[in-house]
Amino acid sequence: MRRTWSSVYPWLLVGVACVVIPQLRHAQGPGLYELDTHILDNGLTVSISPSATSPMVAIQAWVRVGSADDPPSKAGLAHLVEHLLFKGSRHYRSGELAGVIERAGGEVNAWTSPDQTVFHAVVRRAYFPEALEALSDTLVEPRFEPGELERERSVVLQELRHGGGTVERLLGKCLLSTAFLMHPYRRPVIGSEDTLSAIAVRDVADLYRGFYVGPNLTLVIAGDVDREDVLRRVALRFGGLPAARPPRRSIREPAQGTPRVAVVEHTAPGARLAIAFPAPALRDPEVAALEVAAVVLSQRASFAAVAGGDAGPTGYVRALHDASLFVVEAAPAPAALAAAVTGLLRELRGLSQDLEQQELERAQAALELERERQLETVQGRARALGWHAAMTGDAGFERVHAERVRRLRRGEVSAALARQVVAERASVAAVVPRSWRGRRVFAQAAPARVRKALPPARQRPVAQERRHVLPNGMTLLVRRDPGARLVAMRAAWAGGVRLEEDRTSGAAAMLARLLSRGCGKRRAAEVASRLDELGGSLEGVVGRNSFGASAEWLSDSWRDGLELMADCLLAPRLDEVEVASVRRQLLGELAAQATRPGRRALQVFLRALYGGHPYHRDVLGTEQSLARLSRNALRELYQQRFPVSSLALAVVGDVDPDEVVALVSARFASAPRRVAPAVTVTPPSFAGRPQTEREVYAYLDDPAQAHLVVGFPGATVAGPERLPLEVLGAALGGQSGRLFLELRERRGLAYQVAVHVTEGLDPGYLAIHVACAPDKLDEVHAVIRQELERLLGDGLTEDEAQRARNYVIGAHDTAMQRRSAVAAAMAYHEVYGLPWQLWQEHAQKVASLDAPALLAVARAHLRWDLAVTATVRPEAASPEAARRGQRGARRKASVPSGDEPRSRSGRARAGGPR
């Protein structure tokens, strides 16, 4: 019996100046490809993946418009526009585009999906210029003739009549229209006879003008090409697209509360069955877990035996931009439909409760092989990169997703299935023969059959919480939460960067990496093997204010997991070979961070804002400090700085609090009571200067990009301004925030606009971070100042305040779905001297912040006499260069070129205030 699977990857689903802002540059590594992403003046994104291994070059244009953007009465419009774009442009008559590409030894085609329209060509590298010119003419200067519209309408109607009735298409239409009741994903891409007949030339032109604009198009070019040549040609050929903001749909599918069933008839003798469950959009890490689950199912013999026939059942993730579906399909005999529903769902439930490590590894290997085969060809690589760019806004997300798949553990896959595969969210679609008389009975009985196969989890009791202090001073926090089969643990000490000195900078980062690299009698490889056996995860974590470890276990292995975690906390080996390995790893990360101008801009800002305070340091340390940190020095620091007496351990999951107390006491109570040496940290001083701001800068080798950070002192973890600053950050940042709308959407001045709000045991900061072209820096800064002055003068409107409050509450509640986040909040609040249950009051406190209260905090913190503006830019665009070229220019504070900041912003996973 043949077994197949599908994944979220797309191949399984049906004269202007160039402002270059390299957003991503991936060196060769896993996946064996390079990627550079740039943006033109008109907002068009260009992703280039050069490779000399093939004589071919792939060109793909991904336009973010699909059938979900069609007006309801004109369904099929986006697909019809795709057809018409091949029917003539300014320099090419109908059919000539294909001729140009075929004469170049290549091929050209296009497709339309619910979210995108894609035009793709592959040619021999010598013909790349001609192919790019022809494709650009088609997309930038098309002609829409009434006669061509009628001819293509006729072609599409024939396609609809001849291909729309296949079993596969019927099943797909039936499933989408059942799973989505409000969202336009429920409509067929091709439309219907009525909607196609209603489309006029003006409708075609309106859709083209609205969506075929620079900011809505990503051009992907893969193959043996020169980056600079590509950018020059693309700027010349595609620079004519307007920089207008495209329309954006805002329909949201309501939550599903009961099983749905739909059955359609067909002339074919067999039956087809699909069962779908709503799933998150692609950026959510859960999608990778569901994809692996689909492969595991498809590889299981018991799953293959559910339905007979030549084709076995299959599982896949149908990833869409706004939402996704986790789907299982089968082709049983009509009389076996009901049994197939039960069998498929029981297999899903069984996988959520029992996944073997060997099964996980086989699935991961299969997906990696599938990915490598796709990346092997230039057209496959372009398609993968283009799809991720269109779906997430980031072509580099292809690697992020692949890494997520590679790093998955059993518990994460099982937990994802348990969360998503719920009876009340199931949609059942079936295609049956017209001659079958059991249709009505099947449809009526299916909801009850779904509920029986997927019984609800036990009624979730009120969480039981307990705080217990051991005789040696260690604090244990337990929360019994049986909603999932995961148990999360977080061990935390106050520490991190804040308690380091220049000579020990990076020590906490090294120790965090070393905690799980050997403990007790187990060396690093043995710890890794034990983690695989338990199906759990264990890693050290470090931030600006904290140090500790994070772990997750399945509910049947948490006791053994606790033993392993205790070994790592009480007796880390710190083997010399591992110390050397971690040092090399951190040095490599420091070197990599040096190539990221955004990180560098933030580091320049932090040095200017904090001066000698420890918060100016990189979590990873420096090359000099890492070189000085020996095994003995690290051991001494660990023993002195992190005694068990100061430790807070939080355990969250389906556990008995009394049992946890007993087990933790047995493992940790023997540790002596000892207080860490006191360290006095002088709070940072933010001396104000009337009506001005401090400006600092550093040079950047790349002449075509710049990063700007405008920041202000923030709040402490216990300060009353902490939550108001979070809300203000949301009101300014985000895709509907003031700064994003003004800088990115309305004026097109910047590619990246973000607002960072962080707090600590000492005051944190609110920082506005913008990536733009060097010649746009002054205008960007002026707009930021203008928008902040408007905020300080008039405050937020109540609508803005409500949107920002809702966003902050929603982001917090989304994060706190995970028991690991709850455990982190409990542990960090405890070690920071806050009430350990404070996280439960977040929504109430944020909801109480009205516009006047937010305005008062803004006026207290967003003061220009406290502001620091940091830029990294080419030397030719620096204030120093301006002073050399223009005597008497306005004086600015700067970092002397001989003392240019070289520290990089480090990667830290504190899980709480950093």
Gap between the Cα atoms of 287 and 895, Å rounded: 45
> Range with the lowest mean pLDDT among 2-6, 545-549, 550-554?
2-6
Nearest to 715 by CA among 835, 504, 858: 858
Q: In this predicted structure, what is the pLDDT of residue 657?
A: 92
State pLDDT tens for residues 830-848. Answer: 999 999 999 999 999 999 9
Q: In this predicted structure, what is the pLDDT of residue 886?
A: 53
C-alpha angle with apex 273: 271 to 276, nearest 5 degrees?
165
State pLDDT tens for residues 125-172. Answer: 899 999 999 999 999 999 999 999 998 998 888 777 765 567 888 899
State pLDDT tens for residues 324-349. Answer: 999 999 989 899 999 999 999 999 99
DSSP string, 63-110: ES--GGGS-GGGTTHHHHHHHHTTS-BSS--TTHHHHHHHHTT-EEEE
Contact 450/345 with Cβ under 8 angstroms? yes
State pLDDT tens for residues 339-392. Answer: 999 999 999 998 888 888 889 999 999 999 899 889 989 999 999 999 999 998
Gap between the Cα atoms of 804 and 725, Å rounded: 11
Contact 381/372 with Cβ under 8 angstroms? no
Mean pLDDT of 567-586: 96
Q: Which letter does DSSP use for residue 88 in this model?
A: -
Q: Which letter does DSSP use for residue 740 in this model?
A: I
Gap between the Cα atoms of 174 and 184, Å rounded: 14
Residue 725 pLDDT class (50, 70, 90 cuts): very high
Residue 305 pLDDT class (50, 70, 90 cuts): confident
Contact 317/327 with Cβ under 8 angstroms? yes
Gap between the Cα atoms of 725 and 650, Å rounded: 28
Q: In this predicted structure, what is the pLDDT of residue 598?
A: 87
% residues pLDDT > 90 (the chain): 62
Nearest to 86 by CA among 144, 163, 160, 132: 144
Burial of 685 (0-12, 13-18, 19+ CB in 10 A): exposed
Mean pLDDT of 656-682: 92
State pLDDT tens for residues 235-272. Answer: 999 999 999 989 887 788 888 999 999 999 988 788 89
Mean of all residue pLDDT scores within the chain:
86
- Identity at 359, one-letter amino acid code: E
Gap between the Cα atoms of 161 and 335, Å rounded: 29
Q: In this predicted structure, what is the pLDDT of residue 16?
A: 28
Q: In this predicted structure, what is the pLDDT of residue 373?
A: 85
Sheet hosting strand 324-330, strand order edge to edge: 260-266, 427-433, 272-279, 324-330, 314-319
Residue bearing the bigger pLDDT, 787 or 751: 787
Gap between the Cα atoms of 771 and 14, Å rounded: 35
Nearest to 20 by CA among 213, 235, 223, 222: 235
Residue 88 gets the label, from left (phi > 0), alpha (psi -120 to 50) or beta, of left
Residue bearing the bigger pLDDT, 526 or 485: 526
Q: Rounded to an integer, what is the distance from CA 211 to the centroid of its chain?
A: 24
Residue 903 gets the label, from left (phi > 0), alpha (psi -120 to 50) or beta, of beta
Q: In this predicted structure, what is the pLDDT of residue 165?
A: 63
Contact 389/395 with Cβ under 8 angstroms? yes
Nearest to 122 by CA among 392, 322, 301, 377: 377
